Structure 1
Amino acid sequence: MTDQQQWLRDRGARAQEARQVAARLHAEGVGGVLLTWVDNAGITRVKGVPVRRLEHAAAWGVGASPVFDAFLVDDSMTRGRFIGGPEGDLRLHPDLDRAVPLAAQPGWAWAPADRYTQEGEPHPGCQRRFARRMAERALESGIELRCAFEVEWVAARAGGPAEEPDYPTQGAAYGMDRMIDLSDCLRDLLQALDDQGVAVHQVHPEYAPGQYELSVAPEDPVGAADTCVLVRQTIRAVFARHGLRVSFAPAVEAGGVGNGSHLHLSPWRDGQNLCHGGTGPYGLTAEAEAFLAGVLAELPALLAVGAPAPGSPLRLVPSHWAGAYRCWGRENREAALRLVTGGRGEESTAANAEVKCFDGAANPYLVTGAVLAAGLGGLAAGRTLPPESRDDPATWPPGRLEQLGVERLPQTVAESLAHFQRSGLLKEAMGEVLHDIVCAVRQAETELFAGSPPEQVVAATRWRY
C-alpha cells in the first residue's frame, strides 16, 4: 500500500479523532480553530474553521493556495520554477495532537497544519513535513535530536504601522525595572503558556530597549518548531490585551541590537545525551562532535533559512553576541556555535549546543529541518570540530582568524543565498521544489530592498514579524 493510499484509508480515523477533539474543545468554550503554517518569508499564515467543522477539516483538509510559499515579507509575490501564480490548491490538515485552546484568545484554539495536494500526496513545499522527514531520517540511524528555540521580542505601545517604537519601559538592560514595568503582562504571559501546556524555563529582560527573552523545554524537532510558533503568537496576543504590540524582527532599530531566535540542540542515542560522556572536546562523543561539525560547516548556507530577512544582516554584527563568526567555543557568546556544557552534576541532561546566528524572521520548521540535514551530513562524513575559538574574534590581531580557520559569516542575504544555492546537501534534503522556492523568495526580497538604507529596511519590516 502506498503512502497516498494509506492516507486516504485513514480519513475515517482522522474524522473520528477530530470529533473527539472538537467535543473537548467545544466543552472548553472554543468556537473556532486556527490552522497555521509558516511561509518562506517567515510569516505565520492562518485559516480558521468553526470548531464544529474540525471533523471535516481533519478528514478532507482546508483549501489554501500554494502561492503562499511564494509570498514575500510585504505580501507581494514572486514565482519559482514549480510554485507561483494563481493556479492550484492545497489542503491544510490539522495536527490534532497539538490542538490546544488559546488562553489569550478566548473562544479560539490552535493547531499547526501539514499541507497536502488535492490528491492526498504530501506537498513537496511543506516546511513542516520537511522538518519531520529529517527527524525521521535521523531516527533511522538511531539519532534523536532534542531542540528548543529561544524567543526574543521587543514590546512597544500600540501605534500606526509606520510609527517608531514607543517603549513601555525605560528600564536598564537585564534590569529588574523592566520586569516591574510590565509585571502584569509578563505574569499573564506565563499563565497563558502554562494553560497551553508550554513548559517555560525562564523569562527575562534582554539588552535592547523594551526587549525580553523566553526559553522553553526541549522537544523533538517538529515539536520545537510548533512550540516556537505557539509561543510567539501567544506573546503577541497577551501583549495586545495589554495595549502593546511586539516585534520579533531581526532589526527593530537601525544600529541597535536585534531579536535572535537561537536554536539549542543536542543529539541523543538510546536515551543518552551524546553531548556528554565522550572523549572529545568538553566530553562530546565522536557522534556529537561530527554532528556539530556538520552544522558548523554548513552555517554560511544555513543563514539563508536561519537569518533570511532583509534586516537580518543588520543584527548579525560582531561584538553584539549575535554569532557573526563561523566558529565554536564553550560558553562563548560571540561564537556562532556555542557549546553549553551545563552545571556540575547536570551535564548528562543539560549539555547542548546553541546556534546563535539565527533570528526571529526564520521559519522554525525550515531551521530544524536544515540543521538536522547539516548535522547528519557531518555524521556521515565523520567530521571533527576545528580548534576552539576563545574570546571575541573581532578583537583578534591580524592573521589569527586565518590561522584558526575562522571567518566572518555572510554579511548580506545575497551572499548567504549563494552558499545555499551551492549546497548540494541542503538541496538533496529539501527536495527540488522546496529548495527552489526558498531561493526564489530570498532572491526576490533581496531585489525588493536593493539599495535601501538600513533605516528604510527596518521601517518596512519592523512590524511584519
Structure 2
Amino acid sequence: MERLIHAIRTTPLIDNHAHPLLIPSATTKYPLLGITTQANEDTLRANPSSLAQIRAINQLADILDCPQTWSDVSGAIAKEKVKPGNVWAKRCLEGIETILLDDGPNADNDAFDYSWHDKLTSSKCKRIVRIETLGAEIVDRNLDLFAISEDRFFASVLEGLQKAINDALSDPDVVAFKSIICDRTGLEISRACLLEEVKLSLLRCIWKQKAEGHTRLNRSNGQLLNSWIIHMTAETIQKSKTTHKKPIQFHTGLSDNDTNFTRSSPSHLQDFIREYPDVPILLLHAGYPWTKEAGYLAAVYSNVYTDIGEVFPGISQDGQEAIIRDLLELCPTEKIVWSTNGHWFPETYLLAKIQSREAFEKILMEYVERKALTIAQAVKFVENVFFNTSNELYDLQLRLRSTESQIVERLTNGVNGARRIKGINDTNDANGVNSFNSFDNINRTNIMDECNGVNGYYESNGIKGISGADASQYPSDLEIFESFMAKHPEIHFLRVQYIDYCSITRLRILPVKRVRNLLYDEKVDVSIGITNSSLTLMPNDHRIDSVSPRGVCRLLHAVLSSIRPGPCYGYASAQAELRNPDNSSLDVCPRTTLRSVLNEAKNHDLEFLVGFEIEVVFMKGTLSKDDSTLNFTPLPGTDSHCWGSSNALTHAITDAVGEIVDTLSNAGIDIEQWHPESATGQFEFVLPACAPLEAADILLQAREIITTVARNHGWRATLHPKPLPNKIGTGAHVHLSIPTPEGEKEETYTHFYAGILKHLRSITAFTYSNPASYDRMSATGGWAGSTWVTWGTQNRETPLRKIDGSHWEVRCLDGLANIYLALAALIGAGVEGVIAKDKMTWLDCDMNPTKLSLADRDDYNIKEMLPCTLEEALVALKIDQGMHKILGEAVVVTYIAMKRGELELLKLMDDERRRNWIIERY
C-alpha cells in the first residue's frame, strides 16, 4: 500500500484546465472569499458557512499555522504574498508539472500572461484558446467596417475567424480550444446552418449591444452564431492533416447563476460528438451535477474525455468522493483527466491539489483493500489521471517518472533522511526522463532533489509542506527500505557498491538485520567506514601512493531509491558514494563528480536522457595445466554465430538469456530488446533511457545481473573490448539527448556536441580507459566509431552519430570505462560548449573517415585523430585545462595517476595473458 500512497502523493500533476493568476494591482478587485464558489458578490457573504469553504479555511490555516478563521487565514495569506520572488505562489503550485491556461476571462488585462506561469511550474505552460473570446476579438477588430458595409463586415469576420483558428492550430503553444457556450445558450449546439442565418444572428447581437451603449461585442447570446463558431472550429480541426488533433474543451455543469442550468448537462452534446468523431472532446468539471452522464459519454465515445476540475475545492469532501465514484461506475480510468480550474488566486491551485490527492487516496485504498484493484492497477490509474492521459491528449511530450524511482537522490545525512525545509521557495529539479526527445517529465519537487548541499538534507522553518501531505510524510530512508522489503521479503543481504577508478565494482555486504538496526535503533543513515584508498586501489589491490591519502571516509547509501533485487536470489543492491568523515562531498568520488556536472547543466536549463547498450561476449573459462591460470575461449557449438542470426540462439543461450531478462525485470530493469551481435557469443541488451545518474546506476546493476547469471551457467560474460582478436570488438554505445525546450533548440544542441568534439581527445582517456580499448578502435571494418574526431548523421563510422534533433549516439565508449567519469566528461564538455557557444566547425560526415583522402577530410574539416594509445589519451587529458576545470583538478590528477599505474601493471603481461586477465575481471 505504501507504493500506492507514494504515487498519489508524489506523481506530478498536469493541470489540463486553469486560468491565470492576477497581477498584484488587480488582487483587490476580486474577492479572495470566492476561491471555492461560483457565487457572485451578492450571495458570497454566506459562503464561509459552506462545507467546502470551512474545509478550505481549515486546510489553509493548518498550512499557514494560524487560527482557523477566515480573517486570520486571509491575513496570513496577505503576509505571504508580499514576500519577494513569488514564493507563496510557487509553493501553492509545487508538484504541478505544467498548466494549460484558458486566458479568455482576461479581457481587462488583470491577469498575467500564460507564459508568465512558467516560473511556477516544472515545464513550460501552454495556452487554451477560448472560442467565444476569439470570435468576439475578431468581431471587435472589424467593427469599423460595420458602418460601411454589413456584407464586407461579415466577410471580413469570416476570413478573420478562419485564419485565427488555423493560426491556433499551428501554434505549438496552443494545445486546445475551449467553449463556454454552456454559459451562453446551453450545450444544445445547433446543427450547421446557412451563412445568411449566421450573419443575421451576428447583426442582431451587434444591434442589440449598440443600443445598450456597448462599443464592443460584450457577450453573444445568439444560439446560431455561437453554435456556428464552434462548428467552424471543430470542422477545421477534423479536416486538419496533422496526426494529432487538438481537443475542444466544453464547460459543463457548474456555472454562474445567469445560466439556464438545465441546459448545462453534457448529454446535450451527443449529436455534436457524433458529428466530429476525430475531434477529441473534453467535458470539464465532471459535468457536475450530471457526472454519470459525463462518465457515460466518455465510456461510449472514443473521442470523449472527462475532467474532474473545479469540484476540488468547490464541492464538499463527501461530494468530491461521490463524483469520483460516479465517474468510475462507467468511465474508463484512462479517460479521466485532472485539473484545478485554478483562477485568479494561487490558493485555488493549492486546495485543488491537496483535496484531490486526499480523495484519490481514500477511494483507491478502499478499492485495493476490497480487491477491486491491485496496487499496480491503482498506481496506473493515478498516473493516468494525474499525468499520462493529459500528456497524450494534448501531445505535450512530457515524461512521467516512475513513482518507484522518483526519490532520485536522497543522500541524507540526518536521521533517516528527515526532510527539513529552509524556506518556502526551495524547489530543485530532478533528472528524471525516460524517452528520447521528450521533456519530461520531470518532477521538480524538493523531495526529489539529488544534489542540494550536503546530501539533500533540509531544514525546517516552521512551514508545513503543501504538496498534499506534511513534509514528514515524504518517504525517509527507513520508509524507502521498508517499502522495498515489503515487496521483496526474500532479501536477506544488501550489497552497497561503488565503482573505482579502474572500473572495478567494489562492495560491502550488510545483512538486512544490520540495515534495520542502523535505521531504527541508531537512527543514522546506512554508512560504512572504509579506507580512503578504496577508490585508488589497483585491480591487484596495490595502492598508488601519490593519490592515496590515508584515513577513513564514509561510504554512504547515497541512493536508496536505486535499491533493486539482485544480482542473485536473496540479495539486493544499492549504489553508493564515498564521502569525507564529516559527510561532506569527496571531490574524487566518480558519482559525485557526475552529480556536480549535472548540477551545472541544470543552471543552464539543460537536462538529459541517457540510454545504454550493453554488449557482452559469453565465453568459457578453462584452467591452464601449466600455470593454473584461466584461459577463455568461445562457447562450444557457436561457430555459426553472426549478427542478428537465429543460429546464435542455441538452447543453452535461450535458457541463459531468458533467465537474464527475467532477473533484470524482477529488478525493475525492463530491457527494450536483445539480439546477437557479430562476434561469436556476443549479444546486446538495450536498456531504456532515463536520467544520467539513474541510467549509470541501472547500467552497473544490469551488468552485475548479466555476469552473475552467466556465472551460474558456467560462463564468463565479459566486457573486454576485443576478447576475440579476429572478431568484431565489444563497445558500450550511449545514446544522449537533451529533452528540455532549451536543449531541443538546434543552436543549443549543436553547441553542446561541438563542445564534446572540442574535448574528445582528452575525453577518450575516460571512454577508452584500457589498452584493450585501442585494440578495438584500431581494428578495421569493425564499426568501432572511427579514429577521427568528427560526426555524421546516421554514420556508425564516426565517434558521434547524429540520430534526430538532440538525440545523438556516442560510439567511442566501451565497457571498461568508469561510466560516471565518462558521462561527466561527455556532458561536462557539452555544457561548456553551450556556455562558450562553441561552433560546430566539423561538417556532417557521410563517409567512413578512415577511408577518406587527406583532401576529402579537409573538405569535412576533419583535422585530428583520436589518441591511438591510452598513454596518448592521458597526455591529451593532462594538457586539456578545460577538462581539468570541468571535472576538477583532483579527479584528473587521480585518474591519470591510476591509469599510468594500471599501464605499468599490464605491461608486465604478454598479449594472451593480458587478454585473459582482463576477461576474468571485466
Partner of 1:322: 784
- Per the alignment, do residues 68 and 256 of structure 1 end up closer, same or farther by CA in structure 2, a change over 3 Å counting? farther
- Per the alignment, do residues 290 and 24 of structure 1 end up closer, same or farther by CA in structure 2, a change over 3 Å counting? closer
- Per the alignment, do residues 70 and 255 of structure 1 end up closer, same or farther by CA in structure 2, a change over 3 Å counting? farther
- Per the alignment, do residues 451 and 114 of structure 1 end up closer, same or farther by CA in structure 2, a change over 3 Å counting? closer
Q: CA RMSD in A?
A: 2.3
Q: For this pair of structures, how many residues does the alignment match?
A: 439
Partner of 2:565: 101
Secondary structure of 1:329's counterpart equals strand
Partner of 2:140: none
Judge which range, 248-257 or 214-223, deviates more: 248-257
In terms of Rg, which structure is larger?
A: 2
Among 635, 646, 655, the alignment partner of 1:184 is 655
Q: Is the 8 A contact 2:531 2:553 kept in 1?
A: yes
Among 807, 810, 819, the alignment partner of 1:352 is 807
* Alpha-carbon shift at residue 382 of structure 1 (Å): 1.0
Are 1:243 and 2:709 matched, yes or no? no
Partner of 1:65: 531
Are 1:432 and 2:901 matched, yes or no? no
Q: Counterparts in 2 of 1:238-277, with a 5 A limit?
A: 238-270=709-741, 274=744
Among 862, 872, 876, the alignment partner of 1:415 is 872
**Structure 1, unpaired ranges of 5+:** 1-5, 279-284, 342-346
* Alpha-carbon shift at residue 433 of structure 1 (Å): 2.0
- What letter is aligned with 2:828? A
Identity of aligned residues (%): 25
**Structure 2, unpaired ranges of 5+:** 1-410, 420-474, 624-628
- Per the alignment, do residues 94 and 377 of structure 1 end up closer, same or farther by CA in structure 2, a change over 3 Å counting? closer
Secondary structure of 1:222's counterpart equals helix
Q: Is the 8 A contact 2:412 2:418 kept in 1?
A: no
Secondary structure of 2:503's counterpart equals coil
Partner of 1:25: 485
Q: Is the 8 A contact 2:477 2:525 kept in 1?
A: no
Among 108, 112, 119, the alignment partner of 2:575 is 112
Aligned equivalents of 1:84, 1:299: Cα separation in 2? 28
* Alpha-carbon shift at residue 241 of structure 1 (Å): 2.2
Judge which range, 174-183 or 219-228, deviates more: 174-183
Q: Deviations over 1:317-348 (max 9, x none)?
A: 2431111221101111110001112xxxxx7x
Q: Is the 8 A contact 2:616 2:730 kept in 1?
A: yes
Q: Deviations over 1:76-110 (max 9, x none)?
A: 33233xx31653333332411111112x5111001
Are 1:167 and 2:635 matched, yes or no? yes
Q: Is the 8 A contact 1:171 1:177 kept in 2?
A: yes
Higher relative contact order (CA 8 A, sep 6+): 1
Q: Is the 8 A contact 1:72 1:445 kept in 2?
A: yes
Judge which range, 425-434 or 17-26, deviates more: 17-26
Q: Is the 8 A contact 1:325 1:334 kept in 2?
A: no
Q: Which has the higher helix share?
A: 2
Aligned equivalents of 2:513, 2:908: Cα separation in 1? 50
Among 510, 514, 537, the alignment partner of 1:53 is 514
Aligned equivalents of 2:729, 2:540: Cα separation in 1? 20
Q: Is the 8 A contact 1:295 1:378 kept in 2?
A: yes
Aligned equivalents of 2:610, 2:476: Cα separation in 1? 32
Judge which range, 70-79 or 219-228, deviates more: 70-79
Partner of 2:671: 200
- Per the alignment, do residues 12 and 197 of structure 1 end up closer, same or farther by CA in structure 2, a change over 3 Å counting? closer
Partner of 1:124: 587
Q: Is the 8 A contact 1:300 1:419 kept in 2?
A: yes
Aligned equivalents of 1:11, 1:427: Cα separation in 2? 36
Are 1:226 and 2:697 matched, yes or no? yes
Aligned equivalents of 2:765, 2:532: Cα separation in 1? 21
- What letter is aligned with 1:99? I
Among 680, 685, 691, the alignment partner of 1:214 is 685
Q: Is the 8 A contact 1:22 1:51 kept in 2?
A: no
Judge which range, 447-456 or 41-50, deviates more: 447-456
Judge which range, 111-120 or 155-164, deviates more: 155-164
Q: Deviations over 1:219-273 (max 9, x none)?
A: 1110111011011001011212222221111221335432211111011224x76
- Per the alignment, do residues 10 and 143 of structure 1 end up closer, same or farther by CA in structure 2, a change over 3 Å counting? farther
Q: Is the 8 A contact 1:264 1:355 kept in 2?
A: yes
- Per the alignment, do residues 420 and 10 of structure 1 end up closer, same or farther by CA in structure 2, a change over 3 Å counting? farther
* Alpha-carbon shift at residue 12 of structure 1 (Å): 5.5
- What letter is aligned with 2:814? D
Q: Deviations over 1:407-455 (max 9, x none)?
A: 3211100000011111222212222222211111111122223475543
* Alpha-carbon shift at residue 459 of structure 1 (Å): 2.7
Q: Is the 8 A contact 2:619 2:632 kept in 1?
A: no
- What letter is aligned with 1:401? R
Q: Is the 8 A contact 2:416 2:478 kept in 1?
A: no
Partner of 2:554: 90
Among 386, 390, 400, the alignment partner of 2:846 is 390
Among 331, 353, 372, the alignment partner of 2:794 is 331
Secondary structure of 1:411's counterpart equals coil
- What letter is aligned with 1:372? I
Q: Is the 8 A contact 1:145 1:265 kept in 2?
A: yes
Secondary structure of 1:326's counterpart equals coil
Aligned equivalents of 1:107, 1:237: Cα separation in 2? 13
Q: Which has the higher strand share?
A: 1
